[in-house]
C-alpha cells in the first residue's frame, strides 16, 4: 500500500517507517522536525515533507494525487509532566490537529488509520496487568488528549466507515539493530537514555519517587523495544483490512507483559556499561502511577503481536546508538551543541535557577544539587552559567523544559 506516516522522522515513527518498508509498502513521511530528524528519513530512504499535521492546506497538498491508502499517525507530543503545565499545547497538537488530519483523510478518500496511542489513557489502574477492559481514566492532559482522539476515531468509524485501530503502547526503549535510528531526545524524560548518559558522565541521577508500593519502592514499568513496537504497526496495517476494530473496542495494548522497576533498569545499565550510577531520590512527578504493566494477549490474537527483545536487548541497542551518535558529526552531539548555544546566550541566564523552580519543573533542592555540581566540577560559583545543562544531564528537566525556561529568562 501507499502509506503516509505522520511524525515519521521521529523516534518511534522512523522505526515504524523501516518496518513498513520491510513489509514492501510505499511510505511517505510528514514531520515538523520539532523533535524528529531529517537524517532519519534519509537513512530510511523515504520522501520527507516538512509541515504541520494541523495545517489543512499542507495536508491537502500531501494527499493530492499521491494515492495514499492508509495513515499511520505517530505525530504528537508525549511528555506527561509537560502536559500538566501546558494542557493547551497537548490538546492542540494531540487532539485538535488530529481532527484536521481526519478531515483531510475524509476529503481525499483515505479511510484507514493506525494510531500511536498510549497506556496513559488508563491513568492509575486499580489492578494489574492492564487489559483493554481496564477503565480509561487518564489523570494527565497527555493521556486525556490521546483518549479524546481515540474517541474521535470511534466516531469516524461509525459515521464515515473509517477502519481505525489505536495501539496503546507502554514504555518504549531501545534503538534499531543497525544502530542508525534511536532516541535523539536523550536529555528528555525517557529513563534508559538518561541512565546511559548518567553512567557515561558519572553524574548524579534523579530517581523520581522511592516509596511506591513496588518491590523496591521505585516505579515499575512495562518496557517494549522500539523494533517490537514498529513491527506491531506493520502487523496492524496488514490485518486492518480483514479485522473489525469496533467489535473489540478499537484499541490494543502493546507491551512485554512484564514490569521492571527503575532500580532494576538502573542495575542493567550499570552492568552493561560497567559503571556505578550515583542516585538522588527526589519527589514523585505528578501523574506518575506506581506501576503499569500490560496484558498484550488481545494484540497477540488480533494482529499476531509478540516481542522478540528483552530488557538487556533494549539497553544494549540504546547504548550502541548513543555511542554512534556521540562520535564527531553525530546527531546527539549536534543537538547538545545546539542546546549549549541556547544556554550560553543572554545575560539573563543568571536567573535560570529561579525561573526553573517558578515553572514547577524542579524543586529547590534539585537546583541546589545542580549548583553544587557546577561548583565542584566546573569551578564556577554562584552564577547559573551552566545550570540548565547540568539539570539536563541529571535528568531533572527535559530539553523542552530547558528551552521553555530559556525563553522565560531571556524575555
Is residue 142 part of the annotated active site? The answer reads: yes
One-character DSSP codes across 119-178: GGGG-S-SSSSB-TTS-----SHHHHHHHHHHHHHHHHHHHH--EEEEEEE-EEE---TT
What is the helix (H) or strand (E) element at residue 282, kind and residue range? strand 279-282
Cα dihedral 19, 244, 2, 99 in deg (nearest 10): -100
The strands making up 2-6's β-sheet, listed across from edge to edge, are 47-50, 26-31, 2-6, 70-73, 112-118, 163-169, 251-254
| Grid cell at residue 210 | 522511592
Q: Which residues contact 24 (CB under 8 A, 6 or more apart)?
A: none
Short-list 254, 250, 252, CA closest to 155: 250
Q: Which of 122, 142, 169, 212 is catalytic?
A: 142
Burial of 310 (0-12, 13-18, 19+ CB in 10 A): middle
Within 10 angstroms of residue 358's Cβ, the number of other Cβ atoms is 11
Q: Mind telling me the catalytic residues?
A: 142
Amino acid at each position: 500500500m501507499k502509506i503516509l506516516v505522520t511524525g515519521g522522522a521521529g523516534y518511534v515513527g522512523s522505526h515504524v517507517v523501516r518496518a513498513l518498508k520491510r513489509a514492501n509498502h510505499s511510505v511517505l513521511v510528514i514531520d515538523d522536525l520539532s523533535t524528529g530528524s531529517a537524517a532519519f528519513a534519509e537513512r530510511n530512504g523515504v520522501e520527507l515533507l516538512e509541515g504541520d499535521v494541523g495545517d489543512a492546506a499542507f495536508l491537502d497538498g500531501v494527499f493530492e494525487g499521491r494515492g495514499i491508502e492508509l495513515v499511520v499517525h505517530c505525530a504528537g507530543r508525549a511528555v506527561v509532566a509537560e502536559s500538566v503545565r501546558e494542557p493547551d499545547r497537548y490538546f492542540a497538537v494531540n487532539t485538535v490537529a488530529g481532527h484536521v488530519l481526519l478531515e483531510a483523510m475524509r476529503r481525499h478518500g483515505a479511510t484507514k488509520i493506525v494510531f500511536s496511542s498510549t497506556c496513559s489513557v488508563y491513568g492509575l489502574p486499580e489492578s494489574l496487568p492492564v487489559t483493554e477492559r481496564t477503565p480509561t481514566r487518564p489523570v494527565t492532559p497527555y493521556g486525556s488528549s490521546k483518549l479524546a482522539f481515540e474517541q474521535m476515531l470511534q466516531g469516524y468509524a461509525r459515521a464515515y466507515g473509517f477502519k481505525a485501530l489505536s495501539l496503546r503502547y507502554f514504555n518504549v526503549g531501545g534503538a534499531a539493530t543497525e544502530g542508525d535510528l534511536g532516541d535523539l531526545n536523550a536529555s528528555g524524560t525517557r529513563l534508559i537514555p538518561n541512565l546511559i548518559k548518567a553512567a557515561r558522565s558519572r553524574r548524579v541521577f534523579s530517581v523520581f519517587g522511592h516509596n511506591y508500593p513496588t518491590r523496591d519502592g521505585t516505579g515499575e514499568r512495562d518496557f517494549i523495544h522500539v523494533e517490537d513496537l514498529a513491527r506491531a504497526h506493520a502487523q496492524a496495517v496488514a490485518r486492518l483490512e480483514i479485522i473489525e476494530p469496533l467489535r473489540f473496542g478499537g484499541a490494543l495494548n502493546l507491551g512485554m507483559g512484564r514490569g521492571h522497576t527503575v532500580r532494576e533498569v538502573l542495575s542493567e545499565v550499570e552492568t552493561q556499561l560497567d559503571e556505578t550510577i550515583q542516585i538522588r531520590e527526589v519527589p514523585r512527578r505528578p501523574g506518575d502511577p506506581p506501576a503499569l504493566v500490560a496484558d498484550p494477549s488481545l494484540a497477540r490474537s488480533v494482529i499476531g503481536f509478540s516481542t522478540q527483545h528483552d530488557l538487556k536487548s533494549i539497553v544494549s541497542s540504546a547504548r550502541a546508538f548513543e555511542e554512534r551518535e556521540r562520535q564527531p558529526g553525530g546527531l546527539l552531539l549536534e543537538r547538545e551543541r545546539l542546546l549549549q548555544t541556547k544556554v550560553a546566550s543572554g545575560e539573563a541566564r543568571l536567573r535560570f535557577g529561579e525561573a526553573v523552580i517558578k515553572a514547577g519543573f524542579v524543586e529547590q533542592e534539585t537546583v541546589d544539587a545542580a549548583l553544587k555540581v557546577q561548583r565542584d566540577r566546573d569551578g564556577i560559583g554562584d552564577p547559573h552559567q551552566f545550570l540548565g545543562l547540568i539539570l539536563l544531564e541529571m535528568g531533572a528537566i527535559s530539553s523542552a523544559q530547558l528551552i521553555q525556561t530559556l525563553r522565560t529568562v531571556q524575555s
